């Protein structure tokens, strides 16, 4: 009710007070201070791609941010539901989402403990984003967990001096629909601006029962003068998604690829009787940010921000024949029989608080630029489980069957200096110190007592040089070191993990003319104690990782934008790489074997994207978009059963712009036809093994198995945008 009142009041404000005034250059520059400290600038010697709001809007019909970035070089995306709505993921250079550092206006977004990024918690957030920069490799210093695959920097809306009301509606396959309302006040009283959005996304998903019901809101208020900009933001999201992280085996993939085992209730013969209706993930997240930017003089600008995120929610499961002892239940007697097992419904809860401050100061004069910045953040997470129903009425359900906390503090300072020696040469240096304190304590499932404490200190130097040969050709060479702490699952799922270290070398060439923009780079990433995905997953679908000794990634990336005449634009990209464990030892049938140099898991050696865009006039925009991902292993032992086949997908994107002359400012019709050749492909899965000694006590036999997450065959989304 409060949100609806706020929007109504805001709408009236737009109509009564809205007025258009030119934003001065100083104000525009102040807005950019939000992200300058954590982004790479145009001349910095790092590998990067930037997606603008205009580019993102071409296919923003409800899918998550990973899917909207799929065409960037060396990127692979995944989706549990098969359509890019709900739980989604992104891998860059073979590194999963826990190793991609994500910031929203410079504020860390990765979950402090799992280090993952859950875009499902912020549905339709891209509708409030002005640009996204992806730095591949280590990149420049940023806030939050270390970047081992990439850094993803999102900047929210810039101040728009024009008032407008905008609404977007999408409809498509699998009962998918998205609706939002966006309101912008324009400039009020020469110094104020308000922007708001509410969104709802629903879908049944490609996978059976993989439903999503997602809601979000976004409110931003700005006060600005020539020297000061204060930005206050509140945005939130709530999601209820039917669980679809279980995956299916190879036989089911062939015969019933949309089958979802989540929530299945079995009879005594192992046949499915029905499915539990509320086998869902239910989570809410609220974000508060306050940014203060001030220009002290023509050389010196500062930024300080405070933030708070509150998350809470659970996932619910129907479990059969569970032992009383696992839930601290006392045996009961029913009709003279002692009962020690029961069917039950349980909820696993997570409630967390994340708060802190980020700060930076920038000095620029003549040929030198100096940035000093850092952050201090604190995370407190409560993990606990509750049983809400059992098959027997006389069981006490008041106690939690596990209850533990995770606490983490993260402090970093960094200094970046770039110096233009002349018009051709630029030197860059970046030094970061980071310290992390992490504690886990309490009772885990199975009454296991947890007492884990780790303190880590990291020094991350970076340096590089950029050479501008002429107005068409630029070359760069850089070195960056990153150190990264283990995540919660690494501490809980095995022996005490070691922190990881990465030395990243990048050599790049940029070529730009009126008709061609070409980026190409060579990279070599040398790892020590890399935490590599084993292919296995824990009981909530989280991938399990283990330290390995030495490993590396080496590759070539290329992307280009080429104008073919006045109506065609060609945007190809590809990445060729080799991703290897230097020496891999594995226990097979009870014997330790040296497997030699094996491929790193989830690391395809060839990834290519291609977009051919046709612009017959200013109203029509047609794009044929394809993506190829070569085969990859889900294990580090190159077991044939762990191999995912390569795949190709092709999409067709159509946009038609209408600009009425009167009340309506703009109408945009969009159609997105995905996987038009109906490819039956799998982009993600898991691999597991265990030693079988039951069949023959005198011989150990290693048993292997795989699970798969099939993606949707042909599907479509259509949308309409109306702007007043």
pLDDT band per the 50, 70, 90 thresholds, residue 592:
confident
pLDDT (average), residues 409-418: 95
Per-residue pLDDT tens digits for 688-721: 888 777 777 777 788 899 999 999 999 999 999 9
| Tens-place pLDDT, residues 518-559 | 999 999 999 998 887 666 666 555 667 788 878 999 999 999
List strand residue ranges (DSSP E) for 12-128, in order: 48-52, 75-79, 88-92, 100-104, 107-108
The more confident residue out of 534 and 647 is 647
Q: What angle do CA 363, 364, 369 make, to 5 degrees?
A: 90
pLDDT digits over 340-351, tens only? 999 999 999 999
- Distance (Å, whole) CA 387 – CA 317: 10
The C-alpha atoms of residue 509 and residue 557 are separated, in whole angstroms, by 11
Report pLDDT for 404: 97
Q: What is the pLDDT of residue 36?
A: 73
- Strands (DSSP E) contained in 143-277 are 150-156, 164-172, 176-184, 192-203, 212-224, 228-242, 264-266, 272-275
Report the half-sphere exposure of 280 (CA within 13 A, side-chain side): 14
pLDDT for the residue 82: 96
| Closest residue by Cα to residue 115 from 379, 423, 462, 417 | 379
What pLDDT does residue 131 have?
93
Separation CA 413–CA 722 (nearest Å): 45
Tell me what pLDDT residue 148 has.
84
- pLDDT for position 39: 83
Mean pLDDT of 103-121: 94
**pLDDT for 669-690, tens place per residue?**
999 999 999 999 999 999 988 8
Please state, in angstroms and rounded to a whole number, the distance separating the CA atoms of residues 235 and 107. 13
The answer to whether the CB of 509 falls within 8 A of the CB of 560 is no
Quick one: pLDDT at residue 161? 87
Q: Mean pLDDT, to the nearest integer, of 620-627?
A: 96
What integer pLDDT is reported at residue 6 of this predicted model?
Answer: 40
Q: What share of the chain is helix, strand, coil (3-state, %, to 5)?
A: 10, 60, 30
Question: Residue 723: pLDDT above 60?
Answer: yes
Pair 373, 412: CB distance under 8 Å: no
Euclidean distance between CA atoms 168 and 171, whole angstroms = 10
CA distance linking residue 713 with residue 715, whole number of Å: 6
- Confidence band of 115 (pLDDT split at 50, 70, 90): very high
Tell me which of 305-319, 511-525, 572-586 is least confident.
572-586
Task: Return the higher-pLDDT residue of 479 and 586.
Answer: 479
For residues 424-451, average pLDDT: 93
Does 453 have pLDDT greater than 50? Answer: yes
Q: What residue segments make up the domains of the chain, in order of their start?
A: 2-723
Q: How far is CA 598 from CA 499, 529, 582, 586, in A?
A: 22, 16, 7, 11
Determine how many CB atoms are found less than 10 A away from the CB of residue 720: 13
Using 50, 70 and 90 to split pLDDT, how confident is the model at 31? low
612: left (phi over 0), alpha (psi -120 to 50) or beta: beta
Read off the pLDDT of each residue in 349-355 and give the average, rounded to a whole number: 97
Instruction: Say which CATH architecture domain 2-723 belongs to.
Output: Beta Barrel (2.40)
Residues 193-232 have pLDDT tens digits of 999 999 999 999 999 999 999 999 999 999 999 899 999 9
Question: What percent of the chain has pLDDT above 70?
Answer: 93
């Amino acid at each position: 009710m409060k949100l609806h009142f706020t929007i109504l009041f805001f709408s009236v404000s737009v109509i009564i007070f809205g007025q258009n005034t030119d934003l001065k250059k100083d104000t525009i520059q102040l807005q950019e201070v939000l992200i300058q400290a954590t982004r790479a600038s145009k001349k910095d010697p790092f590998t990067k791609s930037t997606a603008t709001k205009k580019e993102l809007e071409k296919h923003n019909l409800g899918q998550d941010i990973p899917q909207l970035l799929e065409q960037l070089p060396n990127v692979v995306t995944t989706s549990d539901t098969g359509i890019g709505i709900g739980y989604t993921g992104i891998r860059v250079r073979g590194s999963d989402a826990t190793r991609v550092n994500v910031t929203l206006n410079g504020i860390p977004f990765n979950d402090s403990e799992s280090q993952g990024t859950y875009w499902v918690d912020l549905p339709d957030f891209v509708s409030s984003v002005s640009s996204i920069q992806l730095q591949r490799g280590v990149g420049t210093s940023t806030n939050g967990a270390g970047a081992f695959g990439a850094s993803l920097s999102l900047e929210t809306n810039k101040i728009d001096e024009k008032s407008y009301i905008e609404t977007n509606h999408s409809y498509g396959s699998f009962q998918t629909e998205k609706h939002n309302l966006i309101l912008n006040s324009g400039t009020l009283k020469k110094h104020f601006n308000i922007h708001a959005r509410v969104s709802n996304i629903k879908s049944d998903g490609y996978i059976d029962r993989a439903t999503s019901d997602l809601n979000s809101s976004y409110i931003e208020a700005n006060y600005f003068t020539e020297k000061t900009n204060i930005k206050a933001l509140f945005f939130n999201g709530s999601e209820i998604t039917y669980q679809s992280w279980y995956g299916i085996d190879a036989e089911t993939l062939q015969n019933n690829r949309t089958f979802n085992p989540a929530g299945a209730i079995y009879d005594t013969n192992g046949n499915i009787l029905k499915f539990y209706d509320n086998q869902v993930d239910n989570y809410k997240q609220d974000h508060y940010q306050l940014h203060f930017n001030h220009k002290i003089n023509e050389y010196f600008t500062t930024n300080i921000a405070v933030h708070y995120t509150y998350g809470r929610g659970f996932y619910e499961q129907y479990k059969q024949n569970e032992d009383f002892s696992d839930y601290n239940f006392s045996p009961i007697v029913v009709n003279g029989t002692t009962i020690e097992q029961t069917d039950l419904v349980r909820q696993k809860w997570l409630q967390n608080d994340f708060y802190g401050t980020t700060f930076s100061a920038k000095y620029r004069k003549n040929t030198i630029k100096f940035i000093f910045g850092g952050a201090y953040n604190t995370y407190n997470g409560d993990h606990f489980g509750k049983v809400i129903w059992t098959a027997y009425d006389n069981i006490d359900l008041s106690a939690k069957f596990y209850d533990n906390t995770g606490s983490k503090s993260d402090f970093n300072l960094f200094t970046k200096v770039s110096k233009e020696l002349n018009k051709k040469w630029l030197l860059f240096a970046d030094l970061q110190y980071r310290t992390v304190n992490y504690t886990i304590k309490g009772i885990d499932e199975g009454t296991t007592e947890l007492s884990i404490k780790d303190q880590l200190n990291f020094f991350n130097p970076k340096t590089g040089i950029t050479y501008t040969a002429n107005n068409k050709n630029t070359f760069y060479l850089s070195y960056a070191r990153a150190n990264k702490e283990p995540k919660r699952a690494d501490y809980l799922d095995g022996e005490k993990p070691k922190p990881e270290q990465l030395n990243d070398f990048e050599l790049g060439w940029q070529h730009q003319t009126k008709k061609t923009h070409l980026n190409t780079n060579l990279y070599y990433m040398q790892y020590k104690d890399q935490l590599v995905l084993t292919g296995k997953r824990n009981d909530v679908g989280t991938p399990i990782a283990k330290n390995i000794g030495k490993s590396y990634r080496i590759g070539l990336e290329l992307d280009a934008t080429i104008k073919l005449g006045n109506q065609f634009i060609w945007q190809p990209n590809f990445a060729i790489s080799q991703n290897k464990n230097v020496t891999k030892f594995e226990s097979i049938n009870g014997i330790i074997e040296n497997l030699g140099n094996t491929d790193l898991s989830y690391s395809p050696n060839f990834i290519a994207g291609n977009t051919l865009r046709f612009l017959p006039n200013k109203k029509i925009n047609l794009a044929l978009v394809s993506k190829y991902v070569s085969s990859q292993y889900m294990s580090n032992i190159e077991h044939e059963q762990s191999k995912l086949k390569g795949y190709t997908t092709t999409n067709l994107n159509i946009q038609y712009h209408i600009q009425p002359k009167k009340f309506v400012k703009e109408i945009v019709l969009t159609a997105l036809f995905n996987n038009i050749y109906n490819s039956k492909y799998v982009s993600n899965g898991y691999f597991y093994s265990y030693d079988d000694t039951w069949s023959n006590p005198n011989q150990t036999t290693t048993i292997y198995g795989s699970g798969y997450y099939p993606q949707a065959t042909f599907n479509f989304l259509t949308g309409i945008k109306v702007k007043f």
